[in-house]
Chains A and B, each alone.
Chain A
Amino acid sequence: MEQKYSSTSSKMDSKEVQMLKRALERQKLARQQAEKILEEKSKELYDMTRHLKAANNKLEGLLNKKQTDLSDSFMDIIDPYVILDLDYNVITMNDSAIKFLGVDHRKESINVGTMVHYDYVNYTLEAFGSLKKIGILRNYQAKIVLKDKVQKFIQINASLIYDAEQNPIGIHGVMRDISREMEIKELLDEQRRELNIIVDNSPLGIALTVEGKIIKANPTFSQLLGYTENELINVTPKDITTCYDEEECNEFVETHNQSGQDNISVTKEYIRKDGSTFFAKTNINAVRDQKGEIKFQVVVIEDITLEKELQKQKEQLLVDLEASNKNLQEYAHIVSHDLKSPLRSISALASWIKEDYHDKIDEAGQEQLSLLQEKVASMDKLIQGILEYSTANSSQLLSSEVDLNEVIDTIKETIFIPDHVNVTVPDPLPTIVGDKTKMQQLFQNIIGNAVVHIEREVGLVQVLFKDTKEFYHFTVEDNGVGIPKEYHEKIFKIFQSIGNKERSTGIGLSIVKKIVDRYEGDVWVDSEVGEGTQFHFTLKKSVLTNENIES
């Protein structure tokens, strides 16, 4: 059961960890891409700013003359470049800007203020207000709506243009299409949100650690330990785990580094903030940087207190069961002794009355005393039978090599066999590993049953054997009175005696059934009334050989 549980649980672990890993991987890739683009663009931007400054002076004059033809190389730059008056009307712009904005200032008048997306109007007013005050605007980012309703994310770096008297007369700026970057950023945000949803809602406690310090933990992790996430940042592994061995930990990190084995699973005991403890399956995954050094570790913990408790309960139950089984057997012996002792007394007293007062008691009285003794005898047999039945499936089997031929010989010497009945073993029986007493009980009860139910002049009981793949198959065949079909199943139930013999207690065959069950075999009857009976039973080989051989 335990095995089963842990395998499904670890499957869940690894599945979830795989999912998280993939999400992390995607995020990493996207971030790298974004960083690269940003790096390139900021270099361009830097160059651009230098250009802008240089061009500023030249521009002043140009603006005054409203000269649209800027024969400066500035107009040839790749990024859209726009010159505005202080009311944001386009004075001039380069080809790149015309192409990007989809409008031509030479054909129509353009006010860029109208292009700003509704959501960004306030921000834009603020930004350009500040531009007019301080003369420069950096990293303005907004959404604009182009003619065909296409929305673009742009970034603008701009500055004021001054005349010779240092009065602002216009604005010029370089625009950059950052739609793609924003998309990536949004994607990143989305992924981060997704990842957070997974992490925050995981039934597993997840934490990110650097050199044993927790730098991030999900709610489950915090809940399990009873700390807030902020408090967790200040706890050391010693605070939250027992049996934490620094050496062991160092060793662990070392093997981690050397073997490149990045995943470890252990079951550890954790201490909550309130001092209580719990057991958790712990999975530690190392995340390495490009040099292969461990950057941080992802710790995933799963509370297994309940499983531990169940396991403990199970073990306790087994111990209890064993004890109670033993008690029961002891009890059976004691009860049988306490019931048998008075029977011995009664029997003795009846004998003495018969002997001591034989001249005073008439024949009828003698007869009654005999009947009394017979009843006592059958009661004694019944008690013995119940005792045997109750101990027939004792959990402790004393296994050894048992020569079944010897067992049959012993039985022939022990039990009462009428003179006209012959018990034979045509072919030698095997030697098997099993509990000798149980084997004897098994054969004795079947043979004992067979020999007393033969009314023919010559009775024959044969013990036959067949070796099948999984089982030993035994048959005890007699030429007795036979058993009517309706009783074929009933006879194996306790106290179900169908014979009219006084001596029958109805326990013998139920003992047989119990022993056969113990060896995972089967017992059944083929019988023809007046012809004879075949008792079949099987014993499973694997169960027999699995029993420990008594040393």
Chain B
Amino acid sequence: MNILFIEDDAIETMKFKRTLAKLNVKHKITEAKNGEEALEVLGSGDQLPDIILLDLNMPRMSGIEFLKILKADEHYKYLPTIMLTTSQNRADLLECYRIGIAGYILKPLKYEEYEEKLIKVVHYWEASELVKA
């Protein structure tokens, strides 16, 4: 799969890459440090990602702002977008589902639990039919 991973925290990115490295199937991960960078990646003319994993709390453009731009775009709006967050703010959760997301993942404290959860997410999307834009 082609995964766009948007995250400003380097260790979070390490956690995600370490998790995926344990899988047998290799996935292509494109990293973006924030929303602007992610939009650049999407607009570069390269093939669009199959799924987007997005941190909710980012500096400058927040996850929700980025999500709004995504869902307002004719092409990008089909991309399944999964939120990653430590925030249990119900208002955020409702807002995200209202705009349109494919998942809302609370990051557990323990890395082992994080790994377990994220592997499930990746497996789910492996099993799912993708848009292949």
Q: Chain A: residues with CB nearer than 8 A to chain B? A: 333-334, 336-338, 340-341, 343-345, 347-349, 351-352, 373, 376-377, 380, 384, 387, 437
Evaluate contact between B109 and A344: CB separation under 8 angstroms.
yes
Closest to B8 in A: A341
A347, B86: Cβ atoms closer than 8 Å: no
- Tell me which of B57, B89, B114 contacts A348 (CB under 8 A): B114
Report how far A387 CA is from B110 CA in the complex, Å.
20
Residues from chain B with a CB closer than 8 A to the CB of A348 are 11, 14-15, 111, 114
Known: A334-B57, A341-B9, A376-B109. 4 other contacts (CB 8 A): A333-B92, A340-B86, A341-B86, A344-B109
Q: Known: A333-B89, A336-B87, A352-B18. Contact between A347 and B9, CB under 8 A?
A: no
Using A337-B57, A345-B9, A345-B12 as known contacts, say yes or no to A351 and B86 having CB atoms under 8 A apart: no
B11's contact among A333, A334, A349, by CB below 8 Å, is which?
Answer: A349
Beta-carbon contact of A347 and B109 below 8 Å:
yes
- A341: chain B residues at CB < 8 Å are 9, 12, 57, 86
Q: In the complex the two chains form, is B87's CB within 8 Å of A344's CB?
A: no
Task: State the interface size on chain B (CB cutoff 8 A).
Answer: 20
Contact with A along B68-96 (1 / 0, CB 8 A): 00000000000000000111111010000
21 CB contacts below 8 A, A to B, read A333-B92, A334-B57, A336-B86, A336-B87, A337-B57, A338-B57, A341-B12, A344-B12, A344-B15, A344-B86, A344-B109, A344-B114, A345-B11, A347-B111, A348-B14, A348-B111, A351-B112, A373-B110, A376-B109, A377-B110, A380-B109
Among A337, A349, A376, residue most surrounded by chain B Cβ atoms (within 10 Å): A337
List, in ascending order, chain A residues with CB within 8 A of B88's CB: 384, 387
B107 at the A interface (CB under 8 A): yes
Number of A-B contacts (CB under 8 A): 49
- B contact residues around A337 at 8 Å (CB): 57, 85-87
Interface residues of B (CB under 8 A from A): 9, 11-12, 14-15, 18, 57, 85-90, 92, 107, 109-112, 114
Distance in Å: Cβ of B59 to nearest Cβ of chain A: 11
Q: Let me know if A333 and B109 touch, CB within 8 A.
A: no
Query: Given A341-B9, A345-B12: A351 and B89 within 8 A (CB)?
Result: no
Residues of A within 8 A of B114 (CB): 344, 348
B107 pairs with A344, CB closer than 8 A: yes
* Nearest chain A CB to B130 CB, angstrom units: 29
Q: Is the interface of A mostly helix, strand, loop or mixed?
A: helix
Query: Which chain B positions have C-beta within 8 A of A338?
Result: 57
Closest CB in chain A relative to B117 CB, distance in Å: 12
Once the chains bind, are B109 and A343 in contact (CB under 8 Å)? yes
Shortest Cβ distance from A334 into B: residue: B57
Q: Complex formed: what's the CA distance from A437 to B91 in Å? A: 13
Instruction: List B contacts of A377 (CB < 8 A).
Output: 109-110
- Expressed in whole angstroms, the Cα–Cα distance for A437 and B89 within the complex equals 12
Complex alpha-carbon distance, A112 and B90, angstroms:
108
Chain B residues with CB under 8 A of A373: 110
Question: Once the chains are docked, how many angstroms separate the CA of A345 from the CA of B10?
Answer: 9
Cα–Cα, bound, A551→B112 (Å): 41
The answer to whether B87 touches A333 (Cβ under 8 A) is: yes
Q: How far is the CA of A527 from the CA of B111 in the complex (A)?
A: 41
B111 touches A352 (CB 8 A): yes
A398 to chain B, nearest CB (A): 9
Closest to A383 in B: B86
Query: Residues of B contacting A349 with CB < 8 Å?
Result: 11
Cα(A336)–Cα(B89), bound, Å: 10
Q: How far is the CA of A380 from the CA of B89 in the complex (A)?
A: 16
Complex Cα distance, B110 from A239, in Å, reads 77
A373 and chain B: residue at smallest CB distance: B110
For the complex, give the distance between the alpha carbons of A95 and B26 in Å: 144
Assembled-state Cα–Cα distance A344/B84 (Å)? 13
Complex alpha-carbon distance, A351 and B11, angstroms:
13
Nearest 8 CB-CB pairs, A to B? A348-B111, A345-B11, A351-B111, A340-B86, A333-B89, A337-B87, A380-B109, A348-B15
Residue of A nearest to B55 (CB): A341
Measured CB to CB, the nearest residue on chain A to B56 is: A337
When C-beta atoms are compared, the residue in chain B nearest to A340 turns out to be B86
A387 to B, closest residue via Cβ: B88
Q: Which residues of chain A have C-beta atoms less than 8 A from B110's C-beta?
A: 347, 351, 373, 377
Nearest Cβ distance between residue A379 and chain B, in whole angstroms? 9
| Cα–Cα distance between A345 and B89 once the two chains are bound (Å) | 20
Complex alpha-carbon distance, A349 and B15, angstroms: 9
CA distance A341 to B55 in the complex (A): 11
Nearest chain B residue, comparing its CB with the CB of A356? B18
Q: Report the Cα distance A352→B14, complex, angstroms.
A: 11
Task: Name the CB-closest residue of B to A349.
Answer: B11
Residues of B within 8 A of A352 (CB): 18, 111
Q: Which of B85, B90, B92, B110 has the most C-beta atoms of chain A within 10 angstroms of its own C-beta?
A: B110
Chain B residues near A347 (CB-CB < 8 A): 109-111
A343 and B57 CA atoms in complex are apart in Å by: 15
Shortest Cβ distance from B89 into A: residue? A333
Contact residues in A for B9 (Cβ distance below 8 Å): 341, 345
CA of A373 to CA of B109 in the docked complex: distance in angstroms? 10
Q: How far is the CB of B61 from chain A (nearest CB, A)?
A: 16
Q: How far is the CA of A351 from the CA of B57 in the complex (A)?
A: 24
Residues on the B chain within 8 Å of A333, using CB: 87, 89, 92
Bound form: Cα–Cα A333–B14 in Å = 25
Question: Which residues on the A side are within 8 Å of B87 (C-beta)?
Answer: 333, 336-337
A380 to B114, CA, bound (A): 15
B109 surroundings in chain A (CB, below 8 A): 340, 343-344, 347, 376-377, 380
- What's the nearest-Cβ distance from chain A to residue B37, in Å? 19
Please report the C-alpha to C-alpha distance between residue A341 and residue B15 in the assembled complex, in whole angstroms. Answer: 12
What is the bound-complex CA distance between A511 and B9, given in angstroms?
32
Which residues of chain A have C-beta atoms less than 8 A from B92's C-beta? 333
A396 nearest in chain B by CB position = B91
Question: Across the two chains, which residue of chain A brings its CB closest to B90?
Answer: A437
**Residues of B contacting A336 with CB < 8 Å?**
86-87
